[in-house]
Amino acid sequence: MEPKLVKPKRNPNQADLANATEYGEEEPTDLELEAFKVIRRHEGFKEKPYTDTKGKRTIGIGTLIGDGSEEAYRKSPYFNKTITEDQAAEIARGDIKEKIATSERLLGRDYLYSVSPALQAQIISSVYRGGLSGSPNTMKLLKAGKFEDAAREYLNNAEYRQAKAEKSGVAKRMDETAAIMAAEGKRGFASAVEDRLKQQPKN
């Protein structure tokens, strides 16, 4: 039996996987599209379940299987199964919607849409990976407009230092996010207003 698609409310848990339903054909927003491009580029695609850099069982485009444990994986529809890239993309897009909502809660909706589209996409990508959401000091500095300080704080942790020593893709991904954070402070006022008008979603 082929695994069904799941529209995650978060990283899919056992109940989500057991009661998976097909993700609808809803028109994606610009932010969803840009965030997906960043995430797809860094996560890649794996048709079979694998263990990620944090030791979590994962599939497709960086989607956790349940809580990422071996037990959750063995009980899931993905045990010893494969999925197509289209299926993986639909699962990831559903999860991105939740990560956008999470980012709005963490940083404030108005704040999220006040920064450049490039930084918005990086924020969603980092929350998707579990990086920025675990760094309250970085978020505080971002909201204060101290972008260069935020970039330094974002990289000031054991995970980054280990990834850098191992020359892993995680380090490159975090370097990219930090660089875009630091560059945000150099945006002109007119550019910021234009981006805000384009990106602010309708209520």
What CATH number is given to the structural domain containing 184?
A: 1.10.530.40
Give the count of domains, the chain.
Answer: 1
Residue 174 lies in a domain: yes
Residue 2 lies in a domain: no
Is residue 184 classed as helix, strand or coil in its secondary structure?
A: helix
Average pLDDT of the chain to the nearest whole number: 85
Residue 9 lies in a domain: no
Is 69 within 8 Å of 14 (Cβ atoms)? no
> What span, in angstroms and rounded, lies between the C-alpha atoms of 153 and 39?
22
Is 147 within 8 Å of 182 (Cβ atoms)? yes
Domain of 164 in residue numbering reads as 14-199
Give the ranges where the chain is alpha helix by DSSP (H): 14-18, 30-43, 70-75, 85-107, 109-112, 117-129, 136-143, 147-154, 158-166, 169-184, 189-199
Is 17 within 8 Å of 77 (Cβ atoms)? yes
pTM over 0.85: no
> What span, in angstroms and rounded, lies between the C-alpha atoms of 137 and 66?
28
User: What is the rounded average pLDDT of the residues 75-94?
Assistant: 94
Is 14 within 8 Å of 89 (Cβ atoms)? no
Residue 123 lies in a domain: yes
> What span, in angstroms and rounded, lies between the C-alpha atoms of 112 and 93?
19
Residue 6 lies in a domain: no
User: Does the pLDDT value for residue 40 go beyond 80?
Assistant: yes
Residue 107 lies in a domain: yes
Is residue 57 classed as helix, strand or coil in its secondary structure?
A: strand
Residue 5 lies in a domain: no
User: What is the rounded average pLDDT of the residues 15-29?
Assistant: 58
Is 39 within 8 Å of 125 (Cβ atoms)? yes
Q: What is the pLDDT of residue 54?
A: 85
Confidence of residue 49 (pLDDT cuts 50, 70, 90): very high
Confidence of residue 76 (pLDDT cuts 50, 70, 90): very high
User: Does the pLDDT value for residue 114 go beyond 70?
Assistant: yes
Pairing label, strands 46-51, 63-64: unpaired
Q: What is the pLDDT of residue 59?
A: 95
Residue position matching structure tokens 């990976």: 129
